[in-house]
Structures are given as structure tokens and as C-alpha cells.
A and B are shown apart, each in its own frame.
Chain A
Amino acid sequence: MANFNLKINGETQQLEVDPTTPMLWVLRDHLKLVGTKYGCGVAQCGACTIHLGDTAVRSCQLPISAVGDQEITTIEGLSENGDHPVQQAWIEEDVYQCGYCQAGQIMNASAFLKSNPNPTDAEIETAMNGNICRCGTYTRIKKAIKKAATSENA
């Protein structure tokens, strides 16, 4: 066990935990931030995507000991009022079916749009290929990302 100070969603969190614990379980079990989802535990599905600084990372592969003083953002902290352009676009396109993977999709898409505000269709597909949606909402995800890109540039 070791002590950690984490900067999560703009707040500092202190906790004592096994240093090998992946951030996914730190968030879900210890901090009760359950918006970040468990899907595979092997970085293949993207359901656990969070932001480390501005970068989208798979929290199931990120041990707490590797975080250091980098800022973490989860779906709960992506925007104050749930009105990030990507969240709004998701609502406008009524993207989700079961909804389970969508926090990961939104976190991946929002980091991607920050690095590439005007993506082509092919770039969107490549960027989103690591996020599985078992319900098959891929066409709506693409539309919502395009809509968010347009609104961010407006």
C-alpha cells in the first residue's frame, strides 16, 4: 500500500492503495467515479478511456503509480453541466443504445477533436477504432463527432 495525491476533475484526491492498482479500479472502487467503465481490462475495447492531461488513455492499463502529478479527467469532469460539444452532439444525434461504452467513446472523441479539430471521415474511423460499441452505433458516433467538430469551429 502507498499514499497518492491525484488531481482528478480539478480536485485533489488523497488515497492509500496498492500501487499496482489500475486507475480504472481506483476511480470506480475507491473514488466512486463509476462513469469510467470496465469492458475488457486489456486495452482492447476503450470503455475505460480517460484523459491524462490532454491525451486519451486506457485507464485499465494505467497503474496509479504511473500517474504522478498529471491531471486526470473522467466523463464526470468533462464539462461542468454536461454540455461539452461532444456530449451535446451525442444527445442531438441520440447516439446510444445500451449506453455502456459511450463514456469511453465520448472521452476518446473529445481528446481526438482537441488534437484534430477538422478530421476527415477516415481520420475519425482510425481514431475511434479502439472503442468497441457492441450495440453498433458507429454510424451515429461518426455523425456526432462531425457535428461536434463543426460546432467547436463555429
Chain B
Amino acid sequence: MTLVKTSYNRRSFLKSSALAGGGMMLGFSWLASCKPSPEQLKSIPKEWFDINGFLKIADNGMVTIMSPNPEIGQNVKTAMPMIIAEELDIDWDDVTVEQAPLNTEIFTRQLAGGSQSIRHGWEALRMAGATARQMLIMAAATAWQVPASEITTKAGVITHEGSKNTAGYGEMASAAAAVDVPEEVPLKDAADFTIIGTDRKNVDGPKIVTGQPMFGLDIQEEGMLTAMIIHPPAFGMAYKSMDAEAVKAMPGIKDVFPIDVYPEGVEKQWSDGGGIAKLVAVVGESTWQCMQAKKALTVEWEVTSELQSSADHDEALTKLLNTKPKQAAREDGNVAKAFKNAAQVIERTYSAPFLAHNTMEPMNFFAHVTADEAKLRGPIQTPEFLEKTLVSVLDMPLEKIDIMMTRMGGGFGRRLYGHFGVEAAVISKKMQAPIKLVYTREDDMTQGTYRPSYKVRYKAGLDEKGSLIAWQVRGVGTNDDLVFENRFPAGAVDNYLAEKQLLETNVTTGAWRAPRSNFIAGAEQAFMDEVAELAKKDPIEFRLELFDRAINNPVGDPETNDYDPKRYAGVLKLVKEKADWTNGKKGNTARGVASYYCHNSYVAQVLDLTMDGDTPKIEKVWCAVDCGIVINPLSARNQIEGGIIDGIGHATYSQLTFKDGKPEQENFDTYNLIRNGQAPKEIETFFVDNGIDPTGLGEPSLPPVIGALANALYKSTGQRYYHQPFISERQVVG
């Protein structure tokens, strides 16, 4: 048990009834998701008591926990409440979870991004549960006239051994809600955890398998109209004019008009990045009618900047890659001299295309803007920033803007950029009606905010014993400079040079699951494999030698390095053992290894594959992960598996190309996404058990698997794979 001050985010512990919906409503919505048993019907709570902004307790002991962060499929809606429930010391079966609305008064960092929800939420969530537990104890101490320090709790029951008093949380909830927030509360020792570290099923599972409305696209409100947008057909084009009269007369169509989403003088947030200001809006009674109207409408566009094709991007990136930047991002020792003295030198170039996010639920948002207030509902990773932009765009005070996040049909970074929410608000304001903005798949795929295209060149020098004496990396990307100069092998090589530059383009780009890492990890780990081969060393041993160097005799100030070499080596050793690296390869399978650190977590993978003609069949992936304490192993494994399949899929099959500024892929008939039969047959995940505070899992398993795949492909085919996608032919979908 550790005593901690509750001063951290004290505002959260003010009594608050500011949350949407009354207690009773929350109770009934819990029952709505499943068929209640007679026992449950008997136990419908009569009254709910707000203990703090994160939780309420009912008179019958049921607990409603608000999950603060947006849910994009990373399962924080189960994991974050688990942390609260642990410290509250409640039976998980008595917990109902609700999505909290945007409320910056109570919650901090209501954002889904960078795999940071659990890492940043850890302290506040524990505190929320522990504070509520302490208030229940204090209420019992007063009721029973005994010292609070003698009172214990277990699974929702308060006990005072000496006086033989006992009460359920529900019985003390009313009194606890009136107790002053304690100055100091005890936190559990990890050894006493009964919820954290155990498999708990997704709290929305029953709703998902029965098709309950949960997503932004599912919103239906009285009097609601459907809105769609038409954006310029190419990057480098802008709206000029249209004749919409005939289309306005089509059945069900209410209006067609140009909109300026970000008029001059509007204060934009970083999250508005990929938004196009001038669009055409089509508003009608139903989705199908709007789709027909969009097809029938002819809009004049004008060229405002260069219409670039993929060949142009490729040529410009190559030119930039061949240009020495004025300044190094990091330089240790003397690389030029070391290469001159090296016994062997190897240089390789890698590349990757633009990618679309392609969340399965296309961009959409509900808005109802009146003269006095704005109500917005929908899938957004950055609700706080959307609210700030709306203050400026609608010229409305913040407290008049009400934003509720819906469960999201995928995020992958795409919904960090909330221009669609602003578009919905602007259209609603103009229509003076509630509207749901819906992007077609084509609108979604061709709008932008893509994963940038990249090139990177690595050069390594070995001495006559095969030791790595020099390492050089130069990376370039569209709107993104790619290289993390302080990541491995920085700190492990005497002579090290990192250089980076970006190529400005008018194709909008943004964060795509594990930004930059999603390409550079695979390139680095494939190059590492080739260097180890040149050194005639086992690829794992070669890496471990470098980690030893970073641990025992680091180059430069070890504080500068982004990674902990002990934890990094730890996952590599774990996966080596679990996959039986030395003897475990079966039959004609080929095996590759990779490891990487990003988003504060460490991952190492071994991948086995066979080839079926030109197509890889992934037999198994072993994955070792160090993310500190694992909150919910069941869904943690799911995140790891998903990242692995996502990484393999995009590196092998996916790309977005351009012709004269226009994306050449507009839908899944031309844009390849990995399919069921192309996924690994088996994935086995192993977590390092070290009790360190938890870090994220939404991104870290994706980047390295591309390296493990490339290395296994080489073992199988004798070819090195430098350019993504590794297989670019169109697949036939059954």
C-alpha cells in the first residue's frame, strides 16, 4: 500500500452532476444491453450517488464508471474503468461502463493518440478509484464510530473487524457522497490487484454482436437531414463554381451549396490540419438520395497549385535523398573516417508509398447548431481541439458547445483531424437543422491526411572482425522528415550520423498508426539483418552485442537516447527463447526476426512463413512485449495481434498512388487491404512481467513486424525486399 496525495487533478474530485444523463438513465442503459435475469430486475437501483467525476455508486452497490477517453478499438473503454475498479475494490461484475462526454473541467487529455491513454491515465484513474474507496471508508467510520484506519474493504464490502460491522458500498454511497475529499489516499500494491492483469471481456461486446447503434454513422435524431460533401478531385485544385439548380430539384434534395469551412480569420487548431476549406455540400432526406445528387452534380474546379503524380514524388524524394542536409540531426564520432577504414561497407535504400487510413466507418459527424448552442455527436480522437475550433468558426462560447464522442469504427490517426466535425457544424448552421454528415468511401479515401511516402538510405561499416563501427541513416518524406535520430542504434555505435529532410507537397499528410515508425522500423530492421549477415553473425546475437554496448559502454550521453537498452534486449531474449530461435524452425518455413521501440513500449518478433507461389503464407508470429503492467491481457493481446496483421498487410499489399494530383485508388476494388486468408495462421504474445507503470499498445507491435516479414521473405526467396508494397498486384476478392 502506498499513500499518495490527491492534489493531482483535484478538480476531478469535486462533486459533479455535470455529466450527461441522470443516474437512473445510466442504470437502465446497463440493462438495455442484455436480457436481465430476475435477480437483476430485482436489483435495479433506486438512486445513484456521484462520488466523483469518474464514478457513481447506486444504493444497491452497482457502480457506473465513466470511461474518459475516446474509444477507437483500442479497448480503453474496458481497460480504463478496470483501473478505477481495481482501486475502488469492487467486483467487476457490478460495474457498468459509460463513455464520458467531453468535459475538460473533470477529465484531462480526452484524446486517443500516440498509444498514450493508459500511460497518461494511470495515475488519475487509480486516484479516482482510491479516493472513492477512502470516502466510503470514512462514511462507514462515522456511521460506526470507529477509526477509519481499522476498516477494510473487499470486492464492494466494507468491514470493521473489531465491531463486527459490515456494509455494502451501496449502503454507504449516500453518506460517502457527502464526505470531504480526503487529502491523502492509499493505493494498492500490485501484488494485491484482482482486476488489473486479468482477462476481462470488452464491455461493448454484447452490443457489437447484436448490431446495437453505437457509432457516429448510426445516429438518428428527430428531423435530422443527411449531408454529404464534394471535395476537389485532385490535390492542387480548388472549388470554382457550379450550376446546382437541376440537382436541387432531385427527389429528397433540400439544398446544394458551397461552404467555406475555415473562413479567413478563423483560429485553427493543429487537428484541423488536413481539412479542405472550400467544399460543396449536398443536403437531403436520405443517404441514397444525396449519393445520387452528388453523381449528378457538375462542379467546376480550378488548378491552384501543381498537380503532382507519384512519379513526381518519387523523383523529388530521390533528389532530396541524394542531397546532403546542411545540418546533421545527430553525429557521434567521425562517420566518414570510419567508412574509409572499414573492412566492409554496405549501403541500401528503402521506400514506401502513401497510405490511406481507411477506417471501416467512413468520416461522419452529427451536428445541430442553433443561434444559441451547438450539439455535436460523432467519432473524434481529439474532441477538445474540435471544440476549440468550433468556438472560433461558430463564434460561440465554449460552454455552449456540447460534444459527445461515439464509439469509433477505427481511428489509426485519421480521426485526430476533425475537419469533418467542423464541416458538419457549418452545414447544420446554414441549414438551421440537425444534420448527419456522411462521407462516401470514395470521399474518405481521396480526401487526404495520408501516411506520407518515404525513402531512407542506410550505410554501415564493419571492421575485419565483423564489428559495427559506423552507421549512417538519411531519411526523407513527403511533409515529414522520418528519422528518429536518438533511437537505436544511436548510442551503440562509435561513429553514427543521422540526417533528415522533408519534401513539401500539396498532398495532405498526417499521423497514421505509429507515425514514421510504421516505415522506418521495417527498413532499419531489414538493414540490420543484412549487416548481420555481412558480419557473418546470427541476427539476434548481432543486435544483442549492440545492446550490450549501449548498456555497458554507451556512446555519448545515454540520457540522450530515447530507449532503455536493457528492456530492449529483454524482449529480444524473450522472443528468442519462446520461438526457440536456434532450433525451432520447422520444415520448409523461413524465419525472420525484428525488434523495435516506440510509444514507450518494446517489442520483438519472430515470424515464420512459407511461400505459395509469389504469396507469403505467414505460419506464425511470436511476439514479446514490454509495456510494463498489462491492464487487460485479453485485449492487450488483441492489440498486438491487430498491429501485426495491420503491419504485414500494409507493407505487403497496400499503396495509394497519384496521377495529376488525383488519387488513383478510390475504393477497396483498387486499394488492397489485407484479407482473412492472408493473415498469420497463429500469433502468440508474451508480456514481460516487471511491474513498471503501464505504457501503450495501440501502435508498438505494427512497426517491427514489417522488418521480421522482410527478413523471413529473404530467407525464403533469396531476395531482399526494399520497396513497399512487397506485392503490389491486385488481389482477386472472392
Contact = CB atoms under 8 A, between A and B. Distances in A.
Interface string B410-440: 1110000000000000000000000000101
A94 B641 contact: no
A125 B408 CA distance: 26
B439 to A, nearest CB: 10
Report the interface size class on chain A: 35 or more
Nearest to B357: A134
A119 interface: no
Residue from B208, B409, B681 with most neighbouring chain A CB atoms (10 Å):
B208
Contacts of A1: 251
Interface of chain A, main secondary structure: loop
Contact of A44 (B74, B204, B733): B733
B639 A75 contact: no
Interface in A1-26: 1, 18, 20-22, 25
Interface of chain B, main secondary structure: loop
A44 B642 contact: no
B210 A76 contact: yes
B359 interface: yes
B669 interface: yes
Contact of A34 (B220, B251, B411): B220
Interface in B13-51: 34-35
B649 interface: yes
A139 interface: yes
Contacts of B202: 94, 96, 99
A29 B218 CA distance: 9
Nearest to B638: A97
Contacts of B287: 25, 28-29, 38
Contacts of A99: 73, 202, 204, 208, 214, 407, 409
A42 B673 contact: no
Interface string B279-292: 00000001111010
A126 to B, nearest CB: 6
A136 B581 CA distance: 26
Interface string B647-671: 0010000000000000000011100
A130 B360 contact: no
Contacts of B215: 37, 100
A39 interface: yes
A97 B74 contact: yes
A96 to B, nearest CB: 5
A136 B644 contact: yes
Given A25-B287, A99-B409, A100-B360, 8 more contacts: A21-B288, A38-B362, A90-B208, A98-B409, A102-B208, A136-B649, A137-B641, A140-B641
Interface of A: 1, 18, 20-22, 25, 28-30, 32-42, 44-45, 47, 74-76, 78, 81-82, 87, 90-91, 94, 96-103, 106, 121-122, 124-142
18 contacts: A28-B287, A29-B226, A29-B287, A35-B210, A37-B215, A37-B217, A82-B206, A82-B209, A94-B634, A94-B638, A96-B208, A97-B638, A97-B642, A98-B360, A99-B202, A100-B360, A136-B644, A142-B676
The 9 closest A-B pairs by CB, nearest first: A35-B211, A100-B409, A98-B73, A136-B645, A75-B211, A125-B677, A138-B679, A97-B73, A44-B668
